[in-house]
Amino acid sequence: MRQEDIEHLNLLSIFHYVLAGVTALFACFPVIHLVFGALMFSGALPISDPNGAVIGRLVGGFFMFIAIVVIALLLALAIVVAVAGTFLRKRQHYTFCLVIAALACVFMPFGTVLGVFTIIVLVRPSVKEAFDQKQAPAE
User: What is the per-residue pLDDT across 85-108, written as a single tens digit (0 to 9) for each?
Assistant: 999 999 999 999 999 999 999 888
User: How many domains are there within the chain?
Assistant: 1
How distant, in Å, are the alpha carbons of 13, 15, 86, 93 from that of 10?
A: 5, 9, 9, 15
pLDDT band at 112 (very low <50, low <70, confident <90, very high): very high
138 pLDDT above the threshold of 60: no
pLDDT level of residue 132 (50, 70, 90 thresholds): confident
Instruction: For the full predicted model, state whether its pTM sits above 0.95.
Output: no
pLDDT digits (tens, 9 = 90+) for 47-80: 666 666 677 788 889 999 999 999 999 999 999 9
Residue 4 CB partners (closer than 8 Å, separation 6+)? none
Asked whether the predicted pLDDT for residue 27 surpasses 60, the reply is: yes
Query: Can you tell me the distance from the alpha carbon of 51 to that of 24, in angstroms, rounded to the nearest whole number?
Result: 38
HSE-CB of 43 using CA atoms within 13 angstroms: 6
Count CB-CB contacts under 10 A for residue 118: 27
Range of the domain at 101: 3-135
Predicted confidence at residue 55, as pLDDT, reads: 78
